[in-house]
């Protein structure tokens, strides 16, 4: 049985697909984190984002996170899906779904996965403002 679902894709992410993947009769709960595109950065209005990735390596790093989550927490299955390309305000760049017998492990694994993804997975976000565009975190 495959316990991880890892995807990077340019079409819309599907919460139900993640939920269905992790659903299991042995589990008492599912924790789902849905990242959404916010309309501002430090008070400045953002009108869209673009995500690009080093896809082959990003998939490997996401697989590492999922395997680590399975080792560290008493969870059953984990899905990590990330979008690439241009996203509008309110759209979904990332979904993480985790199922477990007892809820605490699912909450913790979900938080661990999104925190680690933001630190290690080679995906880059560009923010578009009315007066220009900027790669996030690229400048001091």
Residues binding other proteins: what is the number (CB under 8 A)?
A: 29
Q: Which of 26, 43, 131, 139 binds other proteins (CB under 8 A)?
A: 139
Interface map 67-106 toward other proteins (x if CB under 8 A): ---------------x----------xx------------
Q: What is the DSSP letter of 39?
A: S
Q: What are phi and psi of 83, to 5 degrees?
A: -95, 155
Cα–Cα distance between 36 and 27 in angstroms, integer? Answer: 27
Q: Which of 6, 35, 37, 110 binds other proteins (CB under 8 A)?
A: 35
Specify the stretch interacting with other proteins by CB under 8 A; choose among 13-21, 24-32, 54-62, 69-77. 54-62
Strands 75-83 and 4-9: parallel
Sequence-ordered list of residues with C-beta below 8 angstroms from that of 6, at least 6 positions apart, any chain: 59, 62, 63, 66, 79, 80, 81
Q: Which of 4, 23, 48, 52 binds other proteins (CB under 8 A)?
A: 52
Structure tokens at 125: 């976000």
Q: Which of 53, 75, 99, 106 binds other proteins (CB under 8 A)?
A: 53
Q: How many residues does the chain have?
A: 140
Residues that bind other proteins (CB under 8 A): 35, 51-54, 56-58, 60, 82, 93-94, 114, 117-126, 135-140
């Amino acid at each position: 049985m495959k316990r991880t679902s890892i995807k990077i894709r340019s079409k819309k992410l599907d919460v139900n697909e993640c939920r269905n993947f992790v659903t299991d009769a042995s589990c008492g709960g599912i924790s789902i984190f849905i990242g959404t595109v916010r309309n501002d950065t430090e008070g400045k209005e953002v009108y869209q984002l673009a995500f690009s990735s080093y896809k082959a390596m990003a998939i490997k790093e996401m697989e590492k996170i999922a395997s680590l989550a399975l080792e560290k927490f008493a969870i059953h299955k984990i899905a990590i899906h990330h979008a690439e390309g241009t996203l509008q305000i309110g759209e979904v760049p990332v979904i993480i779904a985790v199922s477990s017998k007892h809820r605490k492990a699912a909450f913790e694994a979900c938080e661990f996965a999104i925190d680690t993804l933001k630190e290690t997975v080679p995906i880059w976000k560009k923010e578009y403002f009315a007066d220009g565009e900027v790669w996030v975190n690229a400048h001091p």
